[in-house]
Structure 1
Amino acid sequence: MDEAGPRLAGIAHEAGGGTIRLRPVAEPDLAMFRRFLTEPGLIGLDWAGFRDPGGPARRHAEDGYLGERDGRLIVQVEPEEAAAGLVSYQWGIYGGRAPYWEIGIALLPEWRGRGIGWRAQALLCDYLFAHTPAQRIQAGTHAENVAEQRSLEKAGFQLEGVVRACEFRAGAWRDGWLYSRLRDDPSPF
């Protein structure tokens, strides 16, 4: 064990001299979660107004954000050992018989545009396909979020289409773009 303490468990991808790791949420990460809820613009287009800053601590105490039907993992960048953001997953079902996951990502501004997002989302898909029977993983994004669209495509997702008026944001109903990756689609790794 090094002097900094034991390395947190997780799943990782190494490339270009750095490693992206997904790991469970730890108590120090809750400060970042509170920032996402209380700092306008920190999460870009996903800002939906102020939210309860105590919510993350309550949820972490309940199940560590590792629920059966939804959860979050921290996107950790190494060698810096820095929490760059989070990925989320939520269970859904089509037609009463076809389970799927919907995933999302939120990175702090200083970590965007470095290839971290697509790698984190690809890792999350590989993790969910390895540990659950879901055939499908989907992700939605904003029509104007070209960076996330490219990230999803690099992570192995395909554009399925436009979901009309699916989100109320900044005083108006807005369209979203829906992407999916199936179990049989190749991993980008």
Structure 2
Amino acid sequence: MNPCGDLLSDLGVGVRKIVFKGDGFALAELAAGDLEYLGEHGDGAYDVDRDGREIPIECPIYRLAVTTEDGTELLGHVMWHPVTYGPSYGCLAWNFGRELLPRARGKGIGTAVLKAFVRHLFDTTDVDRIECSTDETNVRAQKSLEKAGFTREGVLRGAQLRKGKRHDLISYSILRTDLKKK
């Protein structure tokens, strides 16, 4: 129980329910206004262009906040959605993205957040594959993914449109069985 809960709500800061507590961070449910705050305080370094066309499929996007251990300070967020490689549940995977605010980067929590997030998804769902991709120039993210146990799979040529140019992404994945090997 947060003794400052009412005070935080009065100040316009949402009280977040913590899902997982790590060393120096927590994964928590997003509070009202969190996405707007992230948008205003992020640096947009890898934001993709919006071209006005709607994506012709609808799939749910799930999100958790990355916060300080007590859940009061927003540090970033993780988001994930299902992707499928065939007509059965066994072909289902989670594709995710992670964004830390500039002030939260370089403090060693990125890899810990990835490990906790992977554990959370494998503990709370039956999906056996988690995947993501990162810009080919984002070497820090690539190193973090590899430290968290992800396997580099290859290059997704021209997969994102940013600032009017196509950018290659590096794809990564981790399987439930990979965790058992360690």
TM-score scaled by length of structure 2: 0.79
Q: Which residue matches 2:94?
A: 101
Deviations 1:15-45 (A, max 9, x none): xxx3x11011111414314426xx7xx1312
Q: Deviations over 1:123-157 (max 9, x none)?
A: 11111111111110001001100010011112211
Matching residue's letter, 1:26: A
Which amino acid in structure 2 is aligned with residue 29 of structure 1?
A: D
Any idea what SS the aligned residue of 2:149 has? coil
Q: Which residue of 2 aligns with 1:142?
A: 135
Q: Which moved more, 1:121-130 or 1:74-83?
A: 74-83
- C-alpha separation in 2, matches of 1:94 and 1:183: 17
Greater shift after overlay, 115-124 or 100-109? 115-124
Percent identity between the two aligned chains: 34
Give the structure 2 partner of residue 26 of structure 1.
31
Q: In the alignment, which residue of structure 2 is the partner of 1:11?
A: 20
Cα distance in 2, alignment partners of residues 110 and 91 from structure 1? 30
Determine the structure 2 residue equivalent to 1:90.
81
Aligned partner letter, 2:47: D
- AA aligned to 2:22 is H
Number of equivalences = 164
> In 1, Cα distance between the equivalents of 2:69 and 2:123?
24
Secondary structure at the aligned position of 1:156 is classed as coil
TM-score by length of 1: 0.77
Using the TM superposition, name which of 156-165 and 26-35 deviates more.
Answer: 26-35
**Which has more strand, going by share of residues?**
1
The 1:172/1:75 distance shift into structure 2, 3 A limit, reads same
Instruction: Give how far 1:50 is off.
Output: 10
SS in 2 for 1:130: helix
1:43 aligns with 2:34: no
One-letter code aligned to 2:19 = G
1:48-67 to 2 correspondence within 5 Å? 48=49
Stretches of structure 2 lacking an aligned partner (at least 5 in a row): 6-14, 53-58
RMSD: 2.6
